[in-house]
Amino acid sequence: MADRRTEHLPGAGASLHHYVRGLVLSVLLTGAAFALVMTHALPRNATIFVILALAAIQIFVHLVDFLHIDGSLEQRWNVYAALFALLVVGILVGGSIWIMFSAHANMNIGTPMPGMTMTPEAF
């Protein structure tokens, strides 16, 4: 299996059970998220919390089973790059939401202009 031409490729060492496991877990996690939202089984905030958690787990499943990130020594720099990207994402997304919430809270909008609904509350 460790052919010279494929040993450094992302899929090196991948086998069928990775893809089967990834597929089964993804179907379960995605199905659960859609079912929760479509059946209104939980209150709104609890639903949001749970589906965000399900998404995080599914991202992890995809990274391990489809992208074959396994934290081996060879992949150390890939993982560092990913962690740095994650830091930038945290600053970007977290910072944007934080700033826009504060701006919204501190702007005393007495009579909102028609059609102007500045409510940063997607989460």
Partner 1 sequence: MTILDLPEAHSVHAPQHPSAAADDAELTEKTVFGFWLYLMSDVVLFATLFAVFAVVGRSYAGGPTGQELFDLPYVLVETAVLLASSVAFGFVTLAAQDDRRQATLLWMAVTFAIGAVFIVMEVYEFHHLIEEGAGPSRSAFLSAYFTLVGTHGLHVASGLLWMIVTGFQLARDGLTATVHRRLGLLGLFWHFLDVIWIVVFTEVYLIGVL
- The residues binding partner 1 (CB under 8 A) are 1, 3-12, 14-16, 18-19, 22-23, 26-27, 30, 33-34, 37-38, 44, 47-48, 51-52, 54-55, 58-59, 62-63, 66-67, 74, 77-78, 81-82, 84-86, 88-89, 92-93, 96-97, 100, 114-123
Which lies closer to partner 1 via its Cβ, residue 110 or residue 118? Answer: 118
Which lies closer to partner 1 via its Cβ, residue 44 or residue 105? Answer: 44
CA distance 18 to 50: 25
- Minimum Å gap between C-beta 117 and partner 1 is 5
CA distance 92 to 115: 27
Which lies closer to partner 1 via its Cβ, residue 15 or residue 108? Answer: 15
Under 8 Å CB-to-CB from 71, ≥6 apart: which residues?
Answer: 79
Alpha-carbon 13 to chain mean position: 25
- Minimum Å gap between C-beta 38 and partner 1 is 6
Which lies closer to partner 1 via its Cβ, residue 70 or residue 92? Answer: 92
CA angle 71, 76, 82 (to 5 degrees): 85
Give the residue among 52, 111, 105 at the shortest CA–CA distance from 119: 105
